[in-house]
A and B are shown apart, each in its own frame.
Chain A
């Protein structure tokens, strides 16, 4: 007889409120890092595409650095560095928010760069012919199209981001995984908790990717 017969899933309703606070933190972290990452990432993409080396070189360096280190190392780095810079500890949760925004900016930035490069050159010329300056061409003509074209990819990246939030485990921030971990230990039912949390991640990520596929079909008709 295996442990299968001894599984007791009644701990899940009992610990659900606690787990939900963890899930809420994970979702919050995802949302903040997505919005912050897309904003900073777009600026990074514009800098990378700039003809001025003073802009493009630091941006390229930043993106390439972030992309070649494991996220886990970045999380540990920020957790160590931020208190040294600010002079006082800021806690794992805040540190996670800053880290994920900074890290995801590099990835969203690369997506936005591909999006900007995919906009036909004539669009820029048309904007210039109308007397628009750089920021107007970008803001009114190029970025809206780039953003629209890249929407499915941006959302796919967000699903990856949501999964990656589980890595804040390393600095002890209380996300969905950590909450399940604690609950499993408190109720002495770690097996049930890990299975439950895996199912929850699966459900959320699968539904999101179905939505992205639908969005993709809707958007694909243009051009």
Chain B
């Protein structure tokens, strides 16, 4: 195995530029975080209502929510990304489509965020549904007996408990978003994976490059995990096996 090691590569400047490879990596990390966090926000905003709607008594509403989940869960993320990036602008009204293709600012970032967010929303919706269905039937009945409207029942009784119940799987979903954001390289978002491929080509120091990027993913995942664990501890439900007093 003839491999020429060069750990100093990160401090060397990129050919034909005044940046160092280290600057590339850090900027890649920043984009990875930006896409992941923005997509996570989209996923929560869309996923929680969709999950709640899957449990309502009105059949057609629940069916619509189920369709959303099945559609977004059964198409690979990369294919969805291509659909949003290449196909959707063509299906829009002509002028809007042209604007999206030519003038929309941060086009790659917005597309990747929207795609990853809506994809993750389908997973969060499933978690929220199980969280709601896991609660005793009496919760819903008690809310009705107190004269709550359906909206109040969900907002004040069912959803707060459901979200606390599903926090552990929500943590792994959050780490999945960070990992899945790597797919954004395919439409040209200059995040960590994109930078890794580019740096490997430019510097021909593949092992050092991938080790550094893998380490950055590790640290990010670890911090995300600790952050969620902090929330988990705060939000434990008293009187359950996982939940203290």
Contact = CB atoms under 8 A, between A and B. Distances in A.
Contacts of A166: 76-79
From A1, A167, A209, name the one whose CB has the most chain B CB atoms within 10 angstroms.
Answer: A167
A150 interface: no
Interface stretch (A39-47, A127-135, A136-144, A187-195): A187-195
**Central interface residue in B79, B186, B214, B222, by most chain A CB within 10 Å:** B79
A2 interface: yes
B90 A201 contact: no
Contacts of B156: none
A54 interface: no
A76 B75 contact: no
B180 interface: yes
A205 interface: yes
B3 to A, nearest CB: 6
A205 B32 CA distance: 29
A96 interface: no
Given A69-B217, A80-B200, A194 B79 contact: yes
Given A2-B92, A68-B221, A84-B1, A163 B186 contact: no
A215 interface: no
Contacts, number: 108
A76 B193 contact: yes
Chain A binding surface SS class: helix
A159 B186 CA distance: 22
A85 B76 CA distance: 32
Contacts of A167: 76, 78, 183
The interface size bin for chain B is: 35 or more
Contacts of A194: 79, 82-83, 86-87
Count chain A CB atoms within 10 A of each CB in B175, B196, B214, B221 and give the residue with the most: B214
Size category of the A interface is: 35 or more
B186 A2 contact: no
B212 to A, nearest CB: 11
Interface in B121-175: 175
A170 interface: yes
Interface string A176-208: 010001000000001100110110011001100
Given A191-B87, A194-B86, A72 B183 contact: yes
B97 interface: yes
A85 B90 contact: no
A87 B1 CA distance: 7
B93 interface: yes
Nearest to B172: A67
Interface of A: 1-4, 68-73, 76-77, 80-81, 84-85, 87, 159, 163-164, 166-167, 169-170, 177, 181, 190-191, 194-195, 197-198, 201-202, 205-206, 209
14 contacts: A1-B94, A2-B91, A2-B94, A3-B97, A70-B179, A70-B181, A73-B214, A76-B197, A80-B206, A166-B78, A167-B183, A177-B82, A195-B87, A198-B80
A-B pairs, 3 with minimum CB distance: A205-B74, A70-B182, A163-B76
Interface of B: 1, 3, 70-71, 73-80, 82-83, 86-87, 90-94, 97, 175, 179-183, 185-186, 193, 196-197, 200, 206-207, 210, 213-214, 217-218, 221-222
